[in-house]
Amino acid sequence: MTGTYVDAVKDHSAAVLAVISEAYVAATVEGRVVQWNPAAEATFGWSREQAIGGDVARLIIPERHRDMYREALRRIAGGDPGRLLERRLQFTALHRDGHELPVETTLTVTGEIVHALARDVSATLRGSRFTVVEAAVLRGLAEATSSDDAAVRVVGALGVRMGWPVSELWLFDADRQMMTCIARHNRAGRDLTGFALAEMEPHAGLPGAVYRDGRAHWIPDVAAAPSSPRRRAAARIGLRAAVGAPIRSGSQVLGALCVFGDRAEPSDATLISLLSGLAAHVGQYLERRRAEELAIDLARTKDEFLTMVTHELRNPLAVILGTVALLDDDLEPAERHDHLRIIGSSAERLSTMADDLLDLARLESGSLEIHPADLDLAGLLHDSIATARIAAGTKDLTVRADLPFRLPLCGDPDRLRQVADNLIGNAVKYTPEGGTITVTAAADAARPGWVSWTVADTGIGIPAGERSRLFRRFYRASTAVAAKIPGTGLGLVVTRTIIERHHGTIAVADTAGPGTTFVVRLPRSG
Protein backbone atom coordinates (compact mmCIF):
# COMPACT_ATOMS: atom_id res chain seq x y z
CA MET A 1 0.00 0.00 0.00
CA THR A 2 2.60 2.48 1.22
CA GLY A 3 4.83 1.77 -1.75
CA THR A 4 2.00 2.48 -4.17
CA TYR A 5 1.16 5.70 -2.34
CA VAL A 6 4.76 6.91 -2.47
CA ASP A 7 5.05 6.00 -6.14
CA ALA A 8 1.84 7.88 -6.89
CA VAL A 9 3.16 10.99 -5.11
CA LYS A 10 6.43 10.70 -7.02
CA ASP A 11 4.55 10.42 -10.32
CA HIS A 12 2.46 13.46 -9.44
CA SER A 13 5.51 15.47 -8.41
CA ALA A 14 7.17 14.64 -11.73
CA ALA A 15 3.98 15.61 -13.59
CA VAL A 16 3.76 18.90 -11.69
CA LEU A 17 7.42 19.70 -12.34
CA ALA A 18 6.88 19.00 -16.03
CA VAL A 19 4.10 21.56 -16.39
CA ILE A 20 4.92 24.39 -13.98
CA SER A 21 6.14 27.60 -15.56
CA GLU A 22 9.02 27.96 -13.08
CA ALA A 23 12.36 26.39 -13.88
CA TYR A 24 13.14 23.58 -11.43
CA VAL A 25 16.78 22.70 -10.97
CA ALA A 26 17.98 20.27 -8.33
CA ALA A 27 21.68 19.74 -7.66
CA THR A 28 23.85 18.00 -5.12
CA VAL A 29 25.64 20.22 -2.65
CA GLU A 30 28.76 19.63 -4.77
CA GLY A 31 26.91 21.27 -7.66
CA ARG A 32 26.00 18.23 -9.87
CA VAL A 33 22.61 18.61 -11.56
CA VAL A 34 20.13 15.83 -10.73
CA GLN A 35 16.82 17.32 -11.89
CA TRP A 36 16.03 19.74 -14.74
CA ASN A 37 12.42 20.33 -15.85
CA PRO A 38 11.11 21.60 -19.26
CA ALA A 39 10.84 25.20 -17.94
CA ALA A 40 14.53 25.00 -17.00
CA GLU A 41 15.25 23.89 -20.57
CA ALA A 42 13.37 26.93 -21.90
CA THR A 43 14.87 29.38 -19.42
CA PHE A 44 18.51 28.37 -19.63
CA GLY A 45 18.65 26.80 -23.12
CA TRP A 46 20.18 23.43 -22.08
CA SER A 47 18.17 20.22 -22.62
CA ARG A 48 17.59 17.84 -19.71
CA GLU A 49 20.05 15.34 -21.24
CA GLN A 50 22.74 18.02 -21.53
CA ALA A 51 22.16 19.32 -18.02
CA ILE A 52 21.84 16.19 -15.88
CA GLY A 53 25.19 15.35 -14.29
CA GLY A 54 26.67 18.71 -15.34
CA ASP A 55 28.16 21.40 -13.10
CA VAL A 56 25.28 23.73 -12.28
CA ALA A 57 27.61 26.72 -11.87
CA ARG A 58 29.00 26.26 -15.37
CA LEU A 59 25.54 25.78 -16.84
CA ILE A 60 23.65 28.75 -15.47
CA ILE A 61 25.96 31.11 -13.56
CA PRO A 62 28.00 33.81 -15.36
CA GLU A 63 31.71 33.13 -14.90
CA ARG A 64 32.33 36.19 -12.72
CA HIS A 65 29.77 34.97 -10.15
CA ARG A 66 30.73 31.27 -10.06
CA ASP A 67 33.09 31.44 -7.06
CA MET A 68 30.47 33.28 -5.02
CA TYR A 69 27.87 30.68 -6.00
CA ARG A 70 30.13 27.72 -5.07
CA GLU A 71 30.86 29.38 -1.74
CA ALA A 72 27.09 29.60 -1.11
CA LEU A 73 26.70 25.85 -1.84
CA ARG A 74 29.55 25.09 0.57
CA ARG A 75 27.79 27.05 3.29
CA ILE A 76 24.56 25.16 2.65
CA ALA A 77 26.46 21.85 2.72
CA GLY A 78 28.14 22.89 5.99
CA GLY A 79 24.72 23.47 7.55
CA ASP A 80 25.11 27.26 7.73
CA PRO A 81 23.02 28.60 4.84
CA GLY A 82 22.67 32.07 6.42
CA ARG A 83 19.78 33.88 4.75
CA LEU A 84 19.94 31.89 1.50
CA LEU A 85 17.10 29.46 2.04
CA GLU A 86 13.33 29.87 1.73
CA ARG A 87 13.58 33.48 0.57
CA ARG A 88 13.11 35.05 -2.84
CA LEU A 89 16.56 35.80 -4.19
CA GLN A 90 17.39 37.71 -7.33
CA PHE A 91 20.46 36.89 -9.32
CA THR A 92 21.85 37.12 -12.82
CA ALA A 93 21.79 33.82 -14.68
CA LEU A 94 23.48 32.71 -17.86
CA HIS A 95 21.69 31.32 -20.91
CA ARG A 96 23.28 28.68 -23.10
CA ASP A 97 23.59 31.23 -25.97
CA GLY A 98 25.69 33.49 -23.72
CA HIS A 99 23.17 36.20 -22.84
CA GLU A 100 22.45 36.99 -19.23
CA LEU A 101 19.01 37.18 -17.65
CA PRO A 102 17.69 38.34 -14.30
CA VAL A 103 15.99 35.51 -12.38
CA GLU A 104 14.12 35.29 -9.14
CA THR A 105 14.60 32.06 -7.21
CA THR A 106 13.88 30.24 -3.97
CA LEU A 107 16.26 27.60 -2.62
CA THR A 108 15.29 24.61 -0.46
CA VAL A 109 17.48 21.83 0.87
CA THR A 110 16.49 18.20 1.47
CA GLY A 111 19.37 16.12 2.71
CA GLU A 112 22.23 16.44 0.22
CA ILE A 113 20.11 18.02 -2.52
CA VAL A 114 19.55 21.74 -3.14
CA HIS A 115 16.33 22.54 -5.02
CA ALA A 116 15.87 25.80 -6.88
CA LEU A 117 12.65 27.15 -8.41
CA ALA A 118 13.57 30.03 -10.70
CA ARG A 119 11.70 32.49 -12.90
CA ASP A 120 13.00 34.77 -15.65
CA VAL A 121 11.98 38.29 -14.55
CA SER A 122 13.38 40.24 -17.56
CA ALA A 123 9.92 41.35 -18.70
CA THR A 124 8.85 42.50 -15.21
CA LEU A 125 12.08 44.41 -14.67
CA ARG A 126 11.77 45.93 -18.13
CA GLY A 127 8.24 47.16 -17.31
CA SER A 128 9.36 48.92 -14.16
CA ARG A 129 12.45 50.36 -15.85
CA PHE A 130 10.22 51.68 -18.58
CA THR A 131 8.44 53.94 -16.11
CA VAL A 132 11.82 55.53 -15.38
CA VAL A 133 12.56 55.83 -19.12
CA GLU A 134 9.21 57.48 -19.76
CA ALA A 135 9.96 60.07 -17.09
CA ALA A 136 13.43 60.65 -18.58
CA VAL A 137 11.99 60.99 -22.08
CA LEU A 138 9.33 63.48 -20.96
CA ARG A 139 11.97 65.51 -19.11
CA GLY A 140 14.25 65.35 -22.17
CA LEU A 141 11.46 66.54 -24.47
CA ALA A 142 10.61 69.42 -22.13
CA GLU A 143 14.24 70.53 -21.95
CA ALA A 144 15.13 70.00 -25.63
CA THR A 145 16.20 73.09 -27.51
CA SER A 146 15.33 71.71 -30.96
CA SER A 147 13.74 68.68 -32.62
CA ASP A 148 17.19 67.21 -33.27
CA ASP A 149 18.17 67.68 -29.65
CA ALA A 150 14.89 66.02 -28.57
CA ALA A 151 15.57 63.03 -30.82
CA VAL A 152 19.06 62.59 -29.34
CA ARG A 153 17.64 62.69 -25.80
CA VAL A 154 14.94 60.10 -26.57
CA VAL A 155 17.24 57.50 -28.13
CA GLY A 156 19.80 58.20 -25.39
CA ALA A 157 17.21 57.49 -22.66
CA LEU A 158 16.17 54.25 -24.37
CA GLY A 159 19.76 53.09 -24.75
CA VAL A 160 21.15 54.07 -21.36
CA ARG A 161 18.20 53.23 -19.15
CA MET A 162 16.80 50.19 -20.97
CA GLY A 163 20.12 48.69 -21.96
CA TRP A 164 19.30 48.34 -25.65
CA PRO A 165 22.59 48.31 -27.54
CA VAL A 166 21.22 50.40 -30.41
CA SER A 167 18.22 52.75 -30.55
CA GLU A 168 17.24 54.93 -33.50
CA LEU A 169 14.74 57.62 -34.41
CA TRP A 170 13.77 57.78 -38.08
CA LEU A 171 11.63 60.43 -39.79
CA PHE A 172 10.26 60.53 -43.31
CA ASP A 173 11.80 63.39 -45.32
CA ALA A 174 9.07 64.45 -47.75
CA ASP A 175 11.45 66.60 -49.84
CA ARG A 176 13.76 63.70 -50.54
CA GLN A 177 11.19 60.91 -50.28
CA MET A 178 13.51 58.99 -47.96
CA MET A 179 13.52 57.77 -44.37
CA THR A 180 16.24 59.72 -42.55
CA CYS A 181 17.87 58.67 -39.28
CA ILE A 182 17.62 61.77 -37.05
CA ALA A 183 19.37 60.26 -34.02
CA ARG A 184 21.07 56.99 -33.14
CA HIS A 185 22.39 55.81 -29.77
CA ASN A 186 25.12 53.18 -29.74
CA ARG A 187 25.23 52.16 -26.09
CA ALA A 188 28.28 49.97 -25.98
CA GLY A 189 30.19 51.82 -28.69
CA ARG A 190 30.03 48.85 -31.10
CA ASP A 191 31.40 49.20 -34.60
CA LEU A 192 28.18 49.86 -36.54
CA THR A 193 29.73 49.85 -40.02
CA GLY A 194 27.12 48.76 -42.55
CA PHE A 195 24.32 49.14 -40.00
CA ALA A 196 24.36 52.85 -39.14
CA LEU A 197 22.73 54.06 -42.36
CA ALA A 198 21.85 57.75 -42.61
CA GLU A 199 18.86 57.10 -44.83
CA MET A 200 16.85 54.27 -46.33
CA GLU A 201 14.16 53.84 -48.97
CA PRO A 202 10.75 54.58 -47.42
CA HIS A 203 9.62 50.94 -47.52
CA ALA A 204 12.87 49.23 -46.58
CA GLY A 205 13.78 47.62 -43.30
CA LEU A 206 12.12 48.00 -39.90
CA PRO A 207 11.75 51.83 -40.01
CA GLY A 208 10.22 51.58 -43.50
CA ALA A 209 7.79 48.81 -42.48
CA VAL A 210 6.64 50.77 -39.42
CA TYR A 211 6.25 53.95 -41.50
CA ARG A 212 4.39 52.15 -44.32
CA ASP A 213 1.96 50.24 -42.08
CA GLY A 214 1.59 52.90 -39.39
CA ARG A 215 1.82 50.21 -36.70
CA ALA A 216 4.45 48.64 -34.46
CA HIS A 217 6.58 45.77 -35.76
CA TRP A 218 8.55 43.17 -33.83
CA ILE A 219 11.29 41.21 -35.55
CA PRO A 220 12.34 38.28 -33.29
CA ASP A 221 15.74 38.04 -35.00
CA VAL A 222 16.89 40.67 -37.51
CA ALA A 223 19.90 38.57 -38.40
CA ALA A 224 17.54 35.86 -39.70
CA ALA A 225 14.88 38.12 -41.27
CA PRO A 226 15.19 37.73 -45.06
CA SER A 227 13.48 41.10 -45.76
CA SER A 228 15.88 43.10 -43.60
CA PRO A 229 18.43 45.05 -45.71
CA ARG A 230 20.69 45.35 -42.67
CA ARG A 231 20.54 41.68 -41.62
CA ARG A 232 24.17 40.88 -42.47
CA ALA A 233 25.50 43.91 -40.63
CA ALA A 234 23.17 43.14 -37.69
CA ALA A 235 24.43 39.55 -37.51
CA ARG A 236 28.04 40.71 -37.52
CA ILE A 237 27.44 43.30 -34.79
CA GLY A 238 25.38 40.89 -32.67
CA LEU A 239 22.04 42.69 -32.94
CA ARG A 240 19.08 40.29 -32.92
CA ALA A 241 15.57 41.27 -31.74
CA ALA A 242 14.22 44.55 -33.10
CA VAL A 243 11.14 46.57 -32.23
CA GLY A 244 9.79 49.66 -33.98
CA ALA A 245 6.81 51.86 -33.10
CA PRO A 246 5.26 54.57 -35.29
CA ILE A 247 5.69 58.26 -34.53
CA ARG A 248 2.53 60.12 -35.50
CA SER A 249 1.14 63.57 -35.76
CA GLY A 250 -2.64 63.09 -35.74
CA SER A 251 -3.39 60.49 -38.39
CA GLN A 252 -0.16 61.18 -40.29
CA VAL A 253 2.79 58.85 -39.68
CA LEU A 254 6.03 60.87 -39.35
CA GLY A 255 8.54 58.10 -38.72
CA ALA A 256 9.58 55.27 -36.43
CA LEU A 257 11.24 54.77 -33.06
CA CYS A 258 13.31 51.57 -33.21
CA VAL A 259 15.33 49.59 -30.67
CA PHE A 260 17.64 46.62 -31.22
CA GLY A 261 18.50 43.98 -28.60
CA ASP A 262 21.41 41.58 -28.42
CA ARG A 263 19.43 38.35 -28.37
CA ALA A 264 16.62 36.82 -30.37
CA GLU A 265 13.33 37.29 -28.56
CA PRO A 266 9.68 36.49 -29.34
CA SER A 267 7.18 39.34 -29.56
CA ASP A 268 6.25 40.90 -26.21
CA ALA A 269 2.95 42.81 -26.26
CA THR A 270 3.78 44.80 -23.11
CA LEU A 271 7.02 46.08 -24.54
CA ILE A 272 5.34 47.01 -27.82
CA SER A 273 2.71 49.05 -26.02
CA LEU A 274 5.32 50.76 -23.82
CA LEU A 275 7.45 51.69 -26.82
CA SER A 276 4.34 52.86 -28.70
CA GLY A 277 3.50 55.11 -25.73
CA LEU A 278 6.95 56.69 -25.91
CA ALA A 279 6.68 57.12 -29.68
CA ALA A 280 3.33 58.89 -29.13
CA HIS A 281 5.01 61.42 -26.79
CA VAL A 282 7.67 62.04 -29.44
CA GLY A 283 4.97 62.52 -32.11
CA GLN A 284 3.11 65.09 -30.01
CA TYR A 285 6.35 66.91 -29.32
CA LEU A 286 7.30 67.03 -33.01
CA GLU A 287 3.82 68.27 -33.92
CA ARG A 288 4.10 71.15 -31.43
CA ARG A 289 7.63 71.92 -32.53
CA ARG A 290 6.77 71.95 -36.22
CA ALA A 291 3.94 74.39 -35.67
CA GLU A 292 6.33 76.69 -33.77
CA GLU A 293 9.06 76.36 -36.38
CA LEU A 294 6.57 77.06 -39.16
CA ALA A 295 5.40 80.22 -37.40
CA ILE A 296 9.01 81.39 -36.91
CA ASP A 297 9.81 80.56 -40.53
CA LEU A 298 6.82 82.52 -41.81
CA ALA A 299 7.73 85.52 -39.67
CA ARG A 300 11.32 85.33 -40.94
CA THR A 301 10.22 85.02 -44.56
CA LYS A 302 7.98 88.06 -44.07
CA ASP A 303 10.91 90.07 -42.66
CA GLU A 304 13.21 88.96 -45.45
CA PHE A 305 10.53 89.76 -48.04
CA LEU A 306 10.12 93.27 -46.61
CA THR A 307 13.90 93.80 -46.62
CA MET A 308 14.07 92.59 -50.21
CA VAL A 309 11.23 94.85 -51.32
CA THR A 310 12.66 97.88 -49.55
CA HIS A 311 16.09 97.46 -51.07
CA GLU A 312 15.56 95.73 -54.35
CA LEU A 313 12.42 97.56 -55.38
CA ARG A 314 13.12 100.98 -53.96
CA ASN A 315 16.77 101.29 -54.94
CA PRO A 316 16.41 100.85 -58.71
CA LEU A 317 13.22 102.91 -58.66
CA ALA A 318 15.00 105.71 -56.80
CA VAL A 319 17.84 105.52 -59.32
CA ILE A 320 15.40 105.69 -62.25
CA LEU A 321 13.43 108.61 -60.79
CA GLY A 322 16.58 110.47 -59.75
CA THR A 323 18.21 110.03 -63.15
CA VAL A 324 15.05 110.98 -65.04
CA ALA A 325 14.97 114.22 -63.03
CA LEU A 326 18.47 114.99 -64.30
CA LEU A 327 17.50 114.52 -67.93
CA ASP A 328 16.97 117.92 -69.45
CA ASP A 329 17.48 119.40 -72.86
CA ASP A 330 20.82 121.02 -71.97
CA LEU A 331 22.63 117.69 -71.47
CA GLU A 332 25.49 116.72 -73.74
CA PRO A 333 24.71 113.61 -75.86
CA ALA A 334 27.38 111.57 -73.99
CA GLU A 335 25.92 112.52 -70.61
CA ARG A 336 22.41 111.78 -71.82
CA HIS A 337 23.64 108.39 -73.02
CA ASP A 338 25.16 107.64 -69.60
CA HIS A 339 21.94 108.58 -67.83
CA LEU A 340 19.87 106.39 -70.14
CA ARG A 341 22.26 103.48 -69.56
CA ILE A 342 21.81 103.83 -65.79
CA ILE A 343 18.03 103.93 -66.20
CA GLY A 344 18.23 100.86 -68.48
CA SER A 345 20.25 98.76 -66.03
CA SER A 346 17.98 99.66 -63.10
CA ALA A 347 14.93 98.76 -65.19
CA GLU A 348 16.66 95.45 -65.99
CA ARG A 349 17.09 94.74 -62.27
CA LEU A 350 13.39 95.36 -61.75
CA SER A 351 12.53 93.12 -64.66
CA THR A 352 14.72 90.26 -63.30
CA MET A 353 13.01 90.66 -59.97
CA ALA A 354 9.58 90.48 -61.62
CA ASP A 355 10.65 87.30 -63.46
CA ASP A 356 11.94 85.73 -60.23
CA LEU A 357 8.71 86.61 -58.41
CA LEU A 358 6.65 85.16 -61.26
CA ASP A 359 8.67 81.95 -61.15
CA LEU A 360 8.18 81.82 -57.40
CA ALA A 361 4.43 82.23 -57.84
CA ARG A 362 4.42 79.38 -60.40
CA LEU A 363 6.50 77.28 -58.08
CA GLU A 364 4.15 77.88 -55.14
CA SER A 365 1.09 77.04 -57.22
CA GLY A 366 2.82 73.92 -58.56
CA SER A 367 2.58 75.09 -62.16
CA LEU A 368 6.29 75.38 -62.89
CA GLU A 369 6.31 72.90 -65.74
CA ILE A 370 9.16 70.78 -67.00
CA HIS A 371 9.22 69.76 -70.67
CA PRO A 372 11.94 67.11 -70.96
CA ALA A 373 13.86 66.58 -74.19
CA ASP A 374 17.20 65.06 -75.19
CA LEU A 375 19.86 67.70 -74.74
CA ASP A 376 23.61 68.14 -74.51
CA LEU A 377 24.53 69.53 -71.10
CA ALA A 378 28.08 70.37 -72.21
CA GLY A 379 26.75 72.56 -75.05
CA LEU A 380 24.16 74.17 -72.76
CA LEU A 381 26.89 75.09 -70.25
CA HIS A 382 29.16 76.44 -73.00
CA ASP A 383 26.33 78.75 -74.15
CA SER A 384 25.64 79.95 -70.62
CA ILE A 385 29.37 80.59 -70.01
CA ALA A 386 29.60 82.55 -73.29
CA THR A 387 26.81 84.87 -72.12
CA ALA A 388 28.39 85.27 -68.68
CA ARG A 389 31.81 86.10 -70.18
CA ILE A 390 30.57 89.56 -71.15
CA ALA A 391 29.80 90.49 -67.51
CA ALA A 392 32.87 88.57 -66.33
CA GLY A 393 35.09 90.55 -68.72
CA THR A 394 34.07 93.88 -67.22
CA LYS A 395 35.28 92.59 -63.81
CA ASP A 396 38.44 91.03 -65.17
CA LEU A 397 37.33 87.55 -64.07
CA THR A 398 38.83 84.38 -65.54
CA VAL A 399 36.21 81.81 -66.54
CA ARG A 400 37.44 78.24 -66.93
CA ALA A 401 35.40 75.37 -68.31
CA ASP A 402 36.28 71.71 -67.87
CA LEU A 403 33.59 70.04 -69.95
CA PRO A 404 33.47 66.90 -72.08
CA PHE A 405 32.83 67.19 -75.79
CA ARG A 406 29.24 66.08 -75.28
CA LEU A 407 27.19 65.20 -72.21
CA PRO A 408 23.79 63.86 -73.27
CA LEU A 409 20.96 64.11 -70.80
CA CYS A 410 17.16 64.15 -70.76
CA GLY A 411 15.86 67.42 -69.29
CA ASP A 412 14.07 70.70 -69.95
CA PRO A 413 16.58 72.78 -71.97
CA ASP A 414 15.09 76.17 -71.03
CA ARG A 415 14.81 75.39 -67.34
CA LEU A 416 18.31 73.85 -67.11
CA ARG A 417 19.68 76.89 -68.95
CA GLN A 418 17.97 79.04 -66.31
CA VAL A 419 19.77 76.99 -63.61
CA ALA A 420 23.13 77.39 -65.39
CA ASP A 421 22.58 81.14 -65.88
CA ASN A 422 21.68 81.59 -62.24
CA LEU A 423 24.64 79.64 -60.84
CA ILE A 424 27.20 81.10 -63.23
CA GLY A 425 25.59 84.56 -62.98
CA ASN A 426 25.83 84.37 -59.16
CA ALA A 427 29.49 83.31 -59.40
CA VAL A 428 30.19 86.39 -61.54
CA LYS A 429 28.11 88.64 -59.28
CA TYR A 430 29.65 87.49 -55.98
CA THR A 431 33.29 87.32 -57.13
CA PRO A 432 35.35 90.52 -56.84
CA GLU A 433 37.64 91.75 -59.62
CA GLY A 434 40.44 89.44 -60.72
CA GLY A 435 38.83 86.23 -59.42
CA THR A 436 38.32 82.91 -61.17
CA ILE A 437 35.19 80.94 -62.00
CA THR A 438 35.40 77.25 -62.89
CA VAL A 439 32.58 75.24 -64.42
CA THR A 440 32.91 71.45 -64.66
CA ALA A 441 30.56 68.66 -65.72
CA ALA A 442 31.09 64.93 -66.16
CA ALA A 443 29.49 61.54 -65.70
CA ASP A 444 29.23 60.97 -61.93
CA ALA A 445 31.92 58.42 -61.08
CA ALA A 446 30.19 57.47 -57.82
CA ARG A 447 26.72 57.00 -59.33
CA PRO A 448 26.23 55.26 -62.66
CA GLY A 449 23.59 56.92 -64.85
CA TRP A 450 24.07 60.33 -63.21
CA VAL A 451 25.99 63.45 -64.16
CA SER A 452 27.55 65.86 -61.75
CA TRP A 453 28.13 69.49 -62.51
CA THR A 454 29.91 72.14 -60.43
CA VAL A 455 30.23 75.92 -60.49
CA ALA A 456 33.10 77.16 -58.30
CA ASP A 457 34.28 80.70 -57.68
CA THR A 458 36.89 82.50 -55.61
CA GLY A 459 34.42 85.14 -54.44
CA ILE A 460 33.00 86.44 -51.16
CA GLY A 461 31.79 82.98 -50.05
CA ILE A 462 28.89 81.94 -47.85
CA PRO A 463 29.54 81.40 -44.11
CA ALA A 464 29.22 77.67 -43.27
CA GLY A 465 26.56 78.36 -40.62
CA GLU A 466 24.28 80.02 -43.19
CA ARG A 467 24.42 77.38 -45.90
CA SER A 468 21.36 75.45 -44.71
CA ARG A 469 19.22 78.59 -45.10
CA LEU A 470 20.40 79.36 -48.61
CA PHE A 471 17.54 77.77 -50.48
CA ARG A 472 14.89 79.60 -48.46
CA ARG A 473 12.81 82.27 -50.14
CA PHE A 474 14.32 85.79 -49.91
CA TYR A 475 17.30 84.58 -47.89
CA ARG A 476 20.52 86.49 -48.57
CA ALA A 477 23.83 85.56 -46.96
CA SER A 478 25.47 88.06 -44.61
CA THR A 479 28.47 88.26 -46.97
CA ALA A 480 26.24 89.45 -49.87
CA VAL A 481 24.42 91.96 -47.67
CA ALA A 482 27.71 93.30 -46.22
CA ALA A 483 29.18 93.67 -49.72
CA LYS A 484 25.98 95.57 -50.74
CA ILE A 485 25.58 93.38 -53.84
CA PRO A 486 21.98 93.59 -55.07
CA GLY A 487 19.85 90.43 -55.22
CA THR A 488 16.42 89.05 -54.33
CA GLY A 489 17.26 85.74 -52.66
CA LEU A 490 14.90 84.00 -55.09
CA GLY A 491 17.17 82.56 -57.78
CA LEU A 492 18.37 79.59 -55.74
CA VAL A 493 14.84 78.70 -54.60
CA VAL A 494 13.74 78.47 -58.23
CA THR A 495 16.99 76.70 -59.17
CA ARG A 496 16.52 74.02 -56.54
CA THR A 497 12.91 73.44 -57.54
CA ILE A 498 13.87 72.99 -61.19
CA ILE A 499 16.59 70.51 -60.25
CA GLU A 500 14.30 68.57 -57.95
CA ARG A 501 11.69 68.39 -60.71
CA HIS A 502 14.47 66.67 -62.68
CA HIS A 503 14.89 64.29 -59.69
CA GLY A 504 18.35 65.73 -59.04
CA THR A 505 20.02 67.45 -56.09
CA ILE A 506 21.89 70.71 -55.50
CA ALA A 507 24.18 71.49 -52.58
CA VAL A 508 26.91 73.87 -51.52
CA ALA A 509 30.14 71.90 -51.27
CA ASP A 510 31.85 71.88 -47.92
CA THR A 511 34.98 73.55 -49.19
CA ALA A 512 37.34 75.44 -46.96
CA GLY A 513 38.79 78.81 -47.84
CA PRO A 514 37.33 81.67 -49.82
CA GLY A 515 34.79 81.21 -52.57
CA THR A 516 31.77 79.01 -53.12
CA THR A 517 31.18 75.76 -55.00
CA PHE A 518 27.72 74.58 -55.99
CA VAL A 519 27.34 70.92 -56.92
CA VAL A 520 24.41 69.75 -59.04
CA ARG A 521 23.67 66.05 -59.62
CA LEU A 522 21.17 64.95 -62.25
CA PRO A 523 20.00 61.56 -63.44
CA ARG A 524 20.65 61.18 -67.18
CA SER A 525 17.18 59.78 -67.75
CA GLY A 526 15.48 62.92 -66.36
Near ligand ADP by CB under 6 A, which window of 38-46, 274-282, 391-399, 469-477? 469-477
d(Cα 259, Cα 187) in Å, to the nearest integer? 11
Give CA–CA dist 434/453, Å, rounded. 24
Candidates 151, 182, 470, 506: give the one binding ligand ADP (CB under 6 A). Answer: 470
Smallest separation, CB 480 to ligand ADP (Å)? 3
Q: Indicate whether 426 belongs to the interface with ligand ADP (CB under 6 A).
A: yes
Binding marks (x or -) toward ligand ADP, 386..425, rule CB under 6 A? ------------------------------------x---
Report how far residue 105's alpha carbon sits from residue 27's, in angstroms, rounded to the nearest whole number.
14
The residue nearest ligand ADP at its CB is: 487
Residue 434: φ, ψ to 5°: 85, -5
The answer to the question of residue 223 lying near ligand ADP (CB under 6 A) is: no
Cβ proximity to ligand ADP, 93 vs 455, nearer residue = 455
Under the binding rule (CB under 6 A), the answer on residue 460 touching ligand ADP is: yes
Query: Exposed, middle or buried, 184 (CB in 10 Å: 0-12/13-18/19+)?
Result: buried
Least distance from ligand ADP to the Cβ atom of residue 350, Å: 13
Q: Based on the shown chain and the rule CB under 6 A, indicate whether residue 490 belongs to the binding site for ligand ADP.
A: yes
Question: Contact 471/492 with Cβ under 8 angstroms?
Answer: yes
459 binds ligand ADP (CB under 6 A): yes
Per rule CB under 6 A, is residue 489 in the interface with ligand ADP?
yes
Cα–Cα separations (whole angstroms), residue 304 to 179, 309, 352, 468, 490: 31, 9, 18, 16, 11
d(C-alpha 134, C-alpha 138), whole Å? 6
- The reply on whether position 488 binds ligand ADP by CB under 6 A is yes
For position 453 contacting ligand ADP by CB under 6 A, the verdict is no
Q: Give how far Cα 145 sits from Cα of 141, 191, 288, Å.
A: 9, 29, 13
255 lies in the binding site for ligand ADP (CB under 6 A): no
Binding flag, residue 480, ligand ADP (CB under 6 A): yes
205 belongs to the binding site for ligand ADP (CB under 6 A): no
Which member of 462, 498, 499, 506 binds ligand ADP (CB under 6 A)?
Answer: 462
Find, among 524, 504, 520, the residue nearest to 374 by Cα.
524
Question: How many other β-carbons are positioned within 10 Å of the β-carbon of residue 376?
Answer: 15
Binding of ligand ADP by 430 (CB under 6 A): yes
Q: Give the residue from 183, 331, 206 showing the smallest Cα distance to 260.
A: 206
The residues that touch ligand ADP, with contacts defined as CB under 6 A, are: 422, 426-427, 430, 457, 459-462, 470, 476-477, 480, 487-492, 516
